[in-house]
Amino acid sequence: MSDIQRTLVLLKPDALQRDLLGEIIRRFEFKGLKIVGLKFIRLTDELLDEHYAHLSDKPFFANIKKFMMQTPVVGLVLEGFEAITEVRKIVGSTNPRQADAGTIRADLSMNVPSNLIHASDSIEAADAELKRFFNDEEIFAYEKITDRYVLGEGV
List interacting residues with ligand UDP (CB under 6 A): 55, 60, 64, 94, 112-113, 115, 118, 121
Cβ 61 to ligand UDP, closest distance in Å?
A: 9
* Residue 105 C-beta: closest distance to ligand UDP, Å: 8
User: Rounded to the nearest whole angstrom, what is the least distance from the CB of residue 90 to ligand UDP in the complex?
Assistant: 12
Q: Examine the residue annotation and report whether 54 is marked as an active-site residue of this protein.
A: no
Nearest distance, CB of residue 64 and ligand UDP, angstroms: 4
Of 57 and 137, which CB lies nearer to ligand UDP in the complex structure?
A: 57
Nearer to ligand UDP, 60 or 149 (CB): 60
Residue 6 or 118: which CB sits closer to ligand UDP?
118
> Residues 12, 51, 105, 118: which is the catalytic one?
118
DSSP labels, the chain? -PPEEEEEEEE-HHHHHTT-HHHHHHHHHHHT-EEEEEEEE---HHHHHHHTGGGTTSTTHHHHHHHHTSS-EEEEEEEEETHHHHHHHHH--SSTTTSPTTSHHHHH--SSS--SEEE--SHHHHHHHHHHH--GGG------TTHHHHTS---
Separation between Cα atoms, residue 72 and residue 62, nearest integer Å: 18
User: Which residue's CB is nearer to ligand UDP, number 63 or number 146?
Assistant: 63
Active centre residues (catalytic): 118
